[in-house]
Amino acid sequence: MVKPVLPASLSDIAAFASAWAALRECASPWRSAERLRESFGGVDWPRLLLLAEEHGVSGHLAACLQEDQAPAAPAEIKEELTERQRALNFLTLQLTAELLRLLEIFAAEGISALVIKGPVLAARAYDDPAKRSYGDLDLLVRQGEIRRATEALTASGYEAAVSLAAIDAGKTPGQYLFTKADSKLLVELHNDATLRYFPRPLPIKDVFARQARVRVDAHEVPAASAEDELVMACVHGAKHFWERLSLIADVAGLLARQRNLDWHRAAESARAVEAERLLHSGLRLANEVLRAELPEAIAGPVHEDAAAAKMVARVLRWLPAAGYAPPGLIERALFRLRMRGGVLSAPAYLLRLSLSPTEEDWQARGDVSASPWLDALRRPLRLARKYGRSGRN
């Protein structure tokens, strides 16, 4: 077992410079044997292993070290990575089997669902789905079918974090979360009401109309189109301040493997939710951090977007620390403003995020019938307590 490096030391970004460079090379679909040897020269292996775990790219590191011209890693490092990959592979198989079971249940109940993130993104973005770690299943379900979906999931053994009473009361969570007491399985249902970090509501009817079939473990599952998936990945990355390399690796992986992306459709998908800046910043990060090759159809708009360039510059300040040197409360607010842009629209967006309560706000007292105004006022106070503290959040 590799002796861990204290997580607090991750806030010292300079101390992780060599490990960061090595991980960037491993996570890039455009890596070269020569750059790999250079980036691994003199690397601190325990630090590298810790940083890979925190960035969610242990699978990339493991695959990288298995290549013919890969740097020679210490035996204990290889053993640790092998154990992690074995556990990840087992969890992936378990989640895939459960996904297929749930899709059958929903189909029997006449509930339409699209698989987003998780196994679909792994299949689309990587030649080896085990490279991408995920611990839950995400499904897109229309708001009008949430109650029936909740009933179906609870009947199949899941416990709902959002009760039927809360749903009937019109409460809107950040996601409809379901857990199983006897396992580590997590299921999240999303829709245009819960995906609140989109500048404008997701046109869910259009997303369902553009759906595609993606092959996952010899089965085809319903999913959002590759173009919609790309936009969602960029909005999701911005939601999490692009704090981890895995978020950028997903975008780079889609660029590398989805060669037939319709860039006009991708631009239209982003424009429909006014997320062009978020799409451009995600693509620019993939380009600058992982050397992603941007197609000519999108390269011009990406590099001409000055606002996206400023967002990327801010992200690069905290990215190497993998969330251990997070932006403070004020910088978080400024980043949210940059996500939206516009003299009037940016403050309105920030205000909406700050005053739109989630289950953490309206479940604080366990009273789902509480006033929505009290829920809205409770939210900024909770966020100030949560993110006003120093250290990792």
Confidence of residue 137 (pLDDT cuts 50, 70, 90): very high
pLDDT of residue 393: 47
Domain-located, residue 172: yes
Range with the lowest mean pLDDT among 12-21, 117-126, 224-233?
Answer: 12-21
Distances (CA, A) of 380 to 43, 278, 354, 374, 390: 43, 24, 6, 11, 17
Confidence of residue 362 (pLDDT cuts 50, 70, 90): low
Q: Mean pLDDT, to the nearest integer, of 306-321?
A: 94
> What are 197-222's pLDDT values in tens digits?
999 999 999 999 999 999 998 899 99
Confidence of residue 127 (pLDDT cuts 50, 70, 90): confident
Q: Do 62 and 11 share a domain, yes or no?
A: yes
Domain-located, residue 135: yes
CA–CA separation, 158 and 322 (whole Å): 32
Range with the lowest mean pLDDT among 53-67, 135-149, 262-276?
Answer: 53-67
Task: Between 174 and 210, name the one with better pLDDT.
Answer: 210
pLDDT of residue 390: 47
Domain that holds residue 350: 326-393
**pLDDT at position 373 over 80:** no
- Look at phi and psi of residue 291 and say left if phi exceeds 0, alpha if psi is from -120 to 50, else beta: left
**pLDDT at position 379 over 60:** yes
193, 167 Cβ separation under 8 angstroms:
no
Domain-located, residue 297: no
Task: Between 246 and 2, name the one with better pLDDT.
Answer: 246
123: domain CATH number?
3.30.460.40
Question: How many domains are contained in the chain?
Answer: 3
Domain-located, residue 290: no
pLDDT > 90 fraction of the chain, expressed in percent and rounded: 59
Residue that is last in its domain, among 84, 107, 139: 84
Q: Do 54 and 77 share a domain, yes or no?
A: yes
Rounded to 5 degrees, what angle do the CA atoms 322, 328, 331 make? 105
pLDDT of residue 391: 47
CA–CA separation, 77 and 66 (whole Å): 12
Q: Mean pLDDT, to the nearest integer, of 328-346?
A: 88
Residue that is last in its domain, among 63, 84, 105: 84
Buried b (16+ CB within 10 A) or exposed e, 73-90: beeebeebbeebbeebee
Q: Do 78 and 91 share a domain, yes or no?
A: no
Q: What are phi and psi of 241, to 5 degrees?
A: 60, 20
For the record, the structure tokens of 311 come out as 């967002």
Domain-located, residue 251: no
Confidence of residue 3 (pLDDT cuts 50, 70, 90): low
**pLDDT at position 52 over 90:** yes
Q: Do 18 and 90 share a domain, yes or no?
A: no
Q: Do 109 and 60 share a domain, yes or no?
A: no
Q: Mean pLDDT, to the nearest integer, of 281-310?
A: 96
Mean pLDDT of the chain, nearest integer: 88
Residue that is last in its domain, among 177, 195, 224: 224
Domain-located, residue 125: yes
Tokens 């251990």, residue located: 324
pLDDT of residue 304: 96
pLDDT > 70 fraction of the chain, expressed in percent and rounded: 87
Task: Between 342 and 382, name the one with better pLDDT.
Answer: 342
**pTM exceeding the 0.75 threshold for the entire prediction:** yes
Q: Do 52 and 135 share a domain, yes or no?
A: no
pLDDT of residue 27: 95
Q: Do 65 and 145 share a domain, yes or no?
A: no
Output the DSSP codes for 81-107: HHHHHHHHHHHHHHHHHHHHHHHHHHH
**pLDDT at position 117 over 80:** yes
Q: Do 66 and 13 share a domain, yes or no?
A: yes
pLDDT of residue 170: 85
Q: Do 96 and 170 share a domain, yes or no?
A: yes
Q: Do 373 and 393 share a domain, yes or no?
A: yes
